[in-house]
Amino acid sequence: MVRHLDYIDKSLNELLRRGYDNGFLMIKLSYTRKFIQIRKYITSPGEYGIQLAFPKAKWSLPYFHDVERLCRSIKSANCCIDDAGGMDFLYMDFGQDVVNADVCIRRILVEIFGVTQSTKLFVTLEKAALFDVLVDDPNTFYSESVKDVLKELKKGNANQNIEPTVKTPAE
């Protein structure tokens, strides 16, 4: 979806609430290679949060140290650099603090990437429930079919008929 800066907090809330374990929110700047990725993690039932994952890639090298400096200036979140598949990533763990995540991401977008209110941002939420349901267990997913989803939306009672499916180790 095409969004602007004012939509970042809503997108973060959707990821935190509806995202599955390792679900993510991708914010891409129009007509550039620049992006920000925020991942949801669920460590155990009821224990979940979101984290920024900023790559140290060819396109991001000119911004990496500025992003790191900005993230390290935010005292209430954990920041570290770690290797993931042969590439360094800057990780900023916000836990469930969407306000702090929103402030950090907006600052990266505005102060480092030069985004303005009129800049088009392409925002996608991946690996998330289609409806407004809390996903707080790493073994839960919602397996609604698109056909059933559309039927329930027309009826106006889609949230009432969604049942979670619990994965078992054998699956």
- Nearby residues of 109 by Cβ (< 8 Å), 6 or more positions away: 5, 8, 27, 29, 36, 115, 119, 121
10-residue mean pLDDT series, the chain (171 residues) = 84 95 94 94 96 94 95 84 91 94 95 93 92 87 64 62 50 49
pTM of the model: 0.81
pLDDT at position 84: 86
Long-range contact pairs involving 147-153 (C-beta distance under 8 Å, separation at least 24) = none
So what's the pLDDT on residue 78?
84
> Helix, strand, or coil here: 114?
coil
Give pLDDT, residue 169: 45
Q: What is the pLDDT of residue 75?
A: 75
pLDDT at 64 (0 to 100): 96
Q: What is the pLDDT of residue 85?
A: 85
pLDDT value at position 31? 85
How far apart CA 100 and CA 110 sit, in angstroms, is 15
Q: Quick one: tokens of 24?
A: 């993510």
